[in-house]
Each structure stands twice: as structure tokens, then as C-alpha cells.
Structure 1
Amino acid sequence: MRLAIVEDEAPARARLRRLLAAHDDVEIVVEADGLREALDRLPTTQVDALFLDIALGTASAFDVLDRLPPPWPLIVFATAYHEHALRAFEVAAVDYLLKPFDDRRLAVTLERLRERLRATDAPPADEDVRRLRAAMPAPPELPWVVVHDRGSRVVVPMTEVLRVASCGNYVELHTAERRYLLRTTLTRLAQRMDPARFLRVHRQHLVRVDQIAALTPRAHGDAELTLRDGSTVQVSRRYRGALPPALRGG
């Protein structure tokens, strides 16, 4: 059985590797410590099953799967999540390993993988992921973030953020006073923000609803928002429907 491990914590990765080495029919063909390395190596390697950490630094298991071309290997999620999130794994009937990894629980998981690999009518891995997405509880709203700024750690309350822009591997948090860089993705940050207060208006932009001053239609269904501080943000046709009806003309 050819296995891959995607885990950003080196001690956890080493422990899982050590426990798997006790099983003669297991071969670890890929080890990756995060999103980028996983996407570099997984598409070009034949893998039967993937041990995938739910939380990968600023990325997540779903960020990997959203970018990984099909067909997917069987997936075992690794997690240190609390009890409520574990219920989601049970409801979705998706196999998982709870950290710290345990050899007896791992043995059960490996036997399940062997059975699924032998079966001719096993559901595809993407069906497992679909069920898990539906069952996972929404993460709590983010009250503040900590950014590194000029050698210091600065707490930025989300109530002070007026808009957010994607910037490579970072996002720019714009407040009334200045701009901060935070190492995360716009999608991941948006999942922790109140959708009643912040709107995704473009694949690269989030804006706070109470900061919208005007909307100007543009060609091809796009638009431009003017915020109360005078800045402008592009609105793509794809996200225009998320705007309040009075603004979008609905």
C-alpha cells in the first residue's frame, strides 16, 4: 500500500512515519510539510491513500484537495480538533486519526484502507470529502488577528478592518490608520469573518459592508465600489450578487 503524508508539524510527521514502518505492506512514497510541497509531489506520484492534516499552517486540507487534480487517493484526515468537530467526522463516516497518533487506532485505519482498496464498489474519495464539508461546524468568528509589524506583534481587532486585499501568500488588512500584512489566504480569512459584516466582492477583495459609499456599474457586469475613505475596489460579475439588493439594483 503506497501512502502519502501531508503534515506540517515535524514531530507528528515523524511519529506517524515511525508507526507506519511497523506494517510490512506499507510504503511511504510522499512526505510533504505543507500545501506547496503537497501540490508539487502528489500529482506525479501514484498513491493509494493520503494521510492529510486538517490544519496546515495558514492552509487547510481542503486547500490541498481543491487544487489536487482527480482522481484522488483514499484520504485519512489527521486532526487535533475538539469534540464537536470530531462529531463531523463520525457523521460523515470519514476516517480520521486523532493527534497524538496511536498505534492501535492506526492499525484499525490501515485495515479499513485495505478493505476499501480490495472492494470494487467503494465510493470515491471525493464523496468522503463532500460529506465531511457538509458536516463540519463553521469556525467561530475571528475577533482579532496578530500581525508581525516592524519587529513587534500587533493585535488588530477585526472591528478596525475596513477592507482586505489578497497579496500573494499574504492578505493586506486596511484600517483607517494604516495597512498590515497577514500571512494567510483571503479564502481562509473569509471563513472566519462575519458574512453579515464583510462581503467577498472579488476573488482578491473583501469589504466591510458599512464602509460602502457608492457603486458604479462597469462593462461586462462588473462594477466599482467607492468606500467611505475614498478608496475604490473592483467588484467582479461573479460576486456582484452578494451585494445588498439596493446597491446591485435588485
Structure 2
Amino acid sequence: MEMTIAIVEDEQHCTDRIMAFLKPYSDRVRVICFNSLDSALEGLESERPEILFLDVMIGEKTGFDLLSKIANPDFCLIFTTSYEQYALDAFKLSAIDYLLKPIDRIDFDKAITKAFEKIDHKQLKERVGVLMNHLSHIHTSKKISIPSKEGYVFLTIQDILRCEADVNYTHVITVNAKKYTVSKTLKYFEALLKDFGFFRIHNSHLINLKCVNGYSKSGYVTLMNGLVLEISVRRKDAFVHAIGAYMVG
């Protein structure tokens, strides 16, 4: 069954690059291209593509301007962006795929294969909202999108108590004792949450420093729910420094 893929991009060389990467899939896809938001809005409503490659910046506007005008987005969304690394965690926190320009062939094939295997448009508007919230400089509560069997759960980051490793899975536990199991490693969450006051005290535990109620010099930390966790010897000094800096901050 033929699948429709739309590209919204105002730089022709970027469109050409995506088109070239799509050639091996030409027997299963139909590609439509738009170089402005106005043409894209009209075209997306009539063509209803399954997959959309959307540039973050289009002229003086953004891809978010386009998405805000689409009542019921029912496509798999892959952003193409020139954002530097500091902003890319925002895409990860929102569970929205992105390709960093200039687009790499290997990264493209991974993204398109994932899209083919699972056309993921569940709760797209909510995930875009999380993304825009992280990209803005307005001080609001930041959230993270957690994949679930039903779709996505949107958690306020500071409502996360801790994350616990379980081989290649991670259990995300909230302050109200809810647990969500995600097929990501603890290392993934450590990289994602370290700038939000989280510290990895052990190979198996990443904790929210805001939720620390006590620390014992013998190497144990007590969380606000009364749970006592061991701090690994090699992380103890770094933890003392981190909790001290957090309390001062």
C-alpha cells in the first residue's frame, strides 16, 4: 500500500537531500513538497500524509505556526532542524523525532524505518506543546513525555521522585508513587534530567535532589517518601557537592 510523505522546507537543497534519501523507498511512498506555510496548510489538509518532515524555521515563521493551525494532526512528525545541541534535549523530552541538519543518511534511515514500523501520531498536539514549552525562555513547569501502552503520559519533571534501572528498561517513579516503565536505559534519563536537579547516586538509581530529606555520611540518602538508598562510594563526593550546590541555588 502506497504511503504519502510530505516535506515542508523552504530551502531547496534540503528538500533535494530528503528526496534523495527517499529514493530507495520509491516503490512504497508518494512524496509531496511545500516551500511555504500557506501552501503546506492547504496541501496537508487535502492530501493527509502519513509522515511529515517539517522544518523548524520556514522564512520568518516556524513549523509550530503550521501545526497550530491543523485541527487534528494525524501524521507521524519528524522535525528537521539546525538547533544546536543545547536545544535538542527538548525534542527528546517531548518524544518527538528530529533530524539535525545537514541530515545524515544513517540518521535518516533510522527515522524513516521507525516511522514505517509504527506510524506514531498519538497525542501529537500534547507532545508539540511539551516541545514548545522547553524551547521557550518563559519560566513554566517543564514536562517530559513518557511512552505508554495507551499513548503518552505527560509528567511534570519536578514531580518525578526517582528513576530506577532494570537492565535496558527504566522505572520512572513519581512523588505520588505512580510507576511508569520505559524501554530506555537509566543513562538516557540521566543525560535528559541532569540539568533539572537530578543526580545518579548509583548504577541503578537516579534521584531528584528536591526530594532528598536526609543524608548520612555512612553513604545513604533518605527521600521524601522515607525510602533509603545507598550512594556508591565513587559518587559520594560528587553527590555532597551536588546537593550542596542545589540547596544553595
What's the Cα RMSD here? 1.9
Which residue of the other structure, out of 104, 107, 121, is the alignment partner of 2:106?
A: 104
Q: Which whole-Å CA distance do the structure 1 matches of 2:73 and 2:80 have between them?
A: 20
Q: Which whole-Å CA distance do the structure 2 matches of 1:94 and 1:25 have between them?
A: 27
TM-score normalised by the chain length of structure 2: 0.51
Identity %: 32
Secondary structure (helix, strand or coil) at the match of 2:103 reads coil
Instruction: Tell me what 1:45 maps to.
Output: 47
Instruction: Tell me what 1:5 maps to.
Output: 7
Secondary structure (helix, strand or coil) at the match of 2:5 reads strand
Instruction: Tell me what 1:225 maps to.
Output: none
Instruction: Tell me what 1:115 maps to.
Output: 117
Counterpart residue identity of residue 53, structure 2: F
Superposed counterparts of 1:83-98, under 5 Å: 83-98=85-100
Task: Report the structure, 1 or 2, having the larger helix content.
Answer: 2
* Cα offset, 1:25, TM superposition: 5.3
Superposed counterparts of 1:8-87, under 5 Å: 8-24=10-26, 26-87=28-89
Q: Which whole-Å CA distance do the structure 2 matches of 1:123 and 1:20 have between them?
A: 24
Instruction: Tell me what 1:130 maps to.
Output: 129
Q: Which whole-Å CA distance do the structure 1 matches of 2:27 and 2:113 have between them?
A: 11
* Cα offset, 1:69, TM superposition: 2.8
Segments of structure 2 that go 5 or more residues without pairing to the other structure are 139-249
* Cα offset, 1:8, TM superposition: 0.6
Secondary structure (helix, strand or coil) at the match of 1:50 reads strand
* Cα offset, 1:24, TM superposition: 4.2
* Cα gap change, 1:65 to 1:24, in 2 (>3 Å): same
Q: Which whole-Å CA distance do the structure 2 matches of 1:109 and 1:25 have between them?
A: 18
Per-residue CA deviations over 1:142-198 (Å, capped at 9, x if unaligned) read xxxxxxxxxxxxxxxxxxxxxxxxxxxxxxxxxxxxxxxxxxxxxxxxxxxxxxxxx
* Cα offset, 1:2, TM superposition: 1.6
Secondary structure (helix, strand or coil) at the match of 2:52 reads strand
Segments of structure 1 that go 5 or more residues without pairing to the other structure are 140-250
Q: Which whole-Å CA distance do the structure 2 matches of 1:56 and 1:113 have between them?
A: 23
Count matched residues: 136
* Cα gap change, 1:98 to 1:28, in 2 (>3 Å): farther
Per-residue CA deviations over 1:22-75 (Å, capped at 9, x if unaligned) read 224542432000111101211000310100000001110111011123133111
Counterpart residue identity of residue 70, structure 1: N
Q: Which whole-Å CA distance do the structure 2 matches of 1:44 and 1:23 have between them?
A: 23
Counterpart residue identity of residue 18, structure 2: L
* Cα gap change, 1:133 to 1:97, in 2 (>3 Å): same
